[in-house]
Amino acid sequence: MTRDITRRSMLKTTAAIGAASALPMIPFAAEAGDDIIVGGLHDLSGFIDFAGIPMNQIMLMAIEEINAAGGLLGKKLKGAVYDPQTKMPLYSQFATQLALKDKASVVMGGITSASRETIRPILHRYKTLYFYNTLYEGGVCDRNEISLGTTPAQTVEKLVPYSMGLWGKKVYTIAADYNYGQITAAWVKRYVEQNGGEVVSTDFFPLDVTNFGPTISKIQSAKPDMVMSVLVGTGHLGFYNQWAAAGMKNEIPIASTTFGAAGAELEILKPEVANGILTCYGYYPSIDSPANKEWVAKVNKRYPDKTPLLSELSAFTWEGMMIWADAVRSAGSLDRMKLIEVMESGKTYDMPSGQCAIDPLTHHAIRDVYIADLQDKTYIIKKKFSQVQPADTQLVCNLKETPNANKHYEISLE
């Protein structure tokens, strides 16, 4: 234990570690020139890169597609892609850079609510139009942001009565212990009670919990007709494995508005663990419509290797690009307010996910949602609901009355 370290051996060791950890992930920034700059802020590394990489791939695909059709206003689009690495200081740095240095016309991105609330006020302040394309807990009220992802009121409202009709009225909720989980669990309770059912218990789990033994025993003793899972993240994956290992998979069914949202659970869990879980989202790759089949084929053609996982997140990123491009064409301008006015005009867009419109009062999507049953890594769509309103955000936000709002409301159902 008294061995000295020589300068050379120290240098060698640290150089080896340094060289090996410098991963080739250098963000490339576009110079503002004649091109129209489209900013992309998705986590391309870090613990949610499985969500960010497909979103970025699809955004770049949309840029190529718009350019191939002649660009916008006679100009080409150019992507300015940064990797915030799931780190909030990088998010704020890159958002500022996109607004001030790159002079981006529009910014797509932000995945977690934390990252959205980091960049949303920055882009609001610098008047740079912002599209947030991820499902989240609802409540953003900001005329500068278009939120395309589903919110709990859109998915929970449909999934709860549907699954209660299949399985019964006694529901046990297990949820992640942060605002998304808390808010969604409150919506579950509301809709279960509205449908004449009962939530026998709601258990919350910090994101780093990996052992679900006690909960599984508690669920067994409560004997619910179904379990509603709002579990989030890789720590919580353990629940599904332990549930199947305890032999519960064929005893009590599970429904979820979070399972497989970005596709990771689908990849990591074996089919014998995940089969039969009922989910509800605004997009599934198996949607049986010509628009979706064409789009899926396009994605496969563009990315024959490393085909991105298609989920709400990636599909809505493409839709965000198309809605924005349509607004630029109709307005004949890149002026932010003119684009916002076009998008607030109540237009309905035909998209791979179905029909989608922007609610002028909340800037959230009014969209079709689907319920699907997972079997062997494929979603079998059971039911479609047309034009579902973002009823949760509509409770707290009215951009006609308060056009300068710049806030994320925590929607309370107490």
Partner 1 sequence: MDYSLVVAIELLREVAGLILIATGLAVIFGMMRVINIAHGEFMMLGGYTVVLTTKWGVNIWVAILILAPLVVGVFGILVERLIIRHLYGRIIDSLLATWGLSLFLIGFVTVAFGNTVEGVSTPFSSFSVGRYSIAIYTLFLIFAAIAFITSVYLTLRYTKSGLIARATMQNPDMVESLGINSKLVYMATFGIGAAFAGLAGGLLAPISGVVPGMGALLIGKAFITVVTGGAAVVAGTLSASAILGSVSQAVTFATGPVFGDATLLFVALILLRLLPQGITGRIFTRSV
**Which residue lies nearer to partner 1 by CB, 139 or 260?**
260
Interactions with partner 1, residue window 49-108 (CB under 8 A): 49-50
SS3 158: helix
Q: What H or E segment, with its residue span, contains residue 113?
A: helix 113-125
* 1 touches partner 1 (CB under 8 A): yes
* 238 touches partner 1 (CB under 8 A): yes
Interactions with partner 1, residue window 266-305 (CB under 8 A): 267-270, 272-273
34 φ, ψ to 5°?
-85, -15
| Residues in binding contact with partner 1, number by CB under 8 A | 53
Among 237, 254, 323, 405, the residue binding partner 1 under the rule CB under 8 A is 237
> Cα–Cα distance between 274 and 269 in angstroms, integer?
6
Residues 6+ apart with CB under 8 A from 265: 237, 240, 259, 274
SS3 411: coil
* 222 touches partner 1 (CB under 8 A): no
**Smallest separation (angstroms) from partner 1 to the CB of 334:** 36
Helix axes 88-100, 113-125, angle to 10 degrees: 30
* 23 touches partner 1 (CB under 8 A): yes
> Cα–Cα distance between 31 and 407 in angstroms, integer?
31
Among 74, 247, 304, 403, the residue binding partner 1 under the rule CB under 8 A is 247
**Which residue lies nearer to partner 1 by CB, 4 or 414?**
4
* 234 touches partner 1 (CB under 8 A): yes
**Which residue lies nearer to partner 1 by CB, 345 or 378?**
378
Instruction: Convert residues 169-188 into a mask of x (bound to partner 1 by CB under 8 A) and - (unbound).
Output: --------x-----------
* 375 touches partner 1 (CB under 8 A): no
> Cα–Cα distance between 216 and 1 in angstroms, integer?
48
Long-range contacts of 291-296 (CB under 8 A, 24+ apart): 291/350, 291/351, 291/352, 292/352, 292/353, 294/352, 295/352, 296/352
Beta-carbon-side half-sphere exposure of residue 345 (alpha carbons within 13 Å) = 14
Q: Label residue 373 exposed, middle or buried (CB < 10 Å: 0-12, 13-18, 19+).
A: middle
**Which residue lies nearer to partner 1 by CB, 288 or 376?**
376
* 241 touches partner 1 (CB under 8 A): yes
User: What's at 288, amino acid-wise?
Assistant: D
* 161 touches partner 1 (CB under 8 A): no
Rule CB under 8 A: which residues touch partner 1? 1-3, 5, 9-10, 13, 16-17, 20-21, 23, 45, 47, 49-50, 177, 203-206, 208-211, 213-215, 217-218, 220-221, 223, 234-235, 237-238, 241-242, 244-248, 251, 263-264, 267-270, 272-273
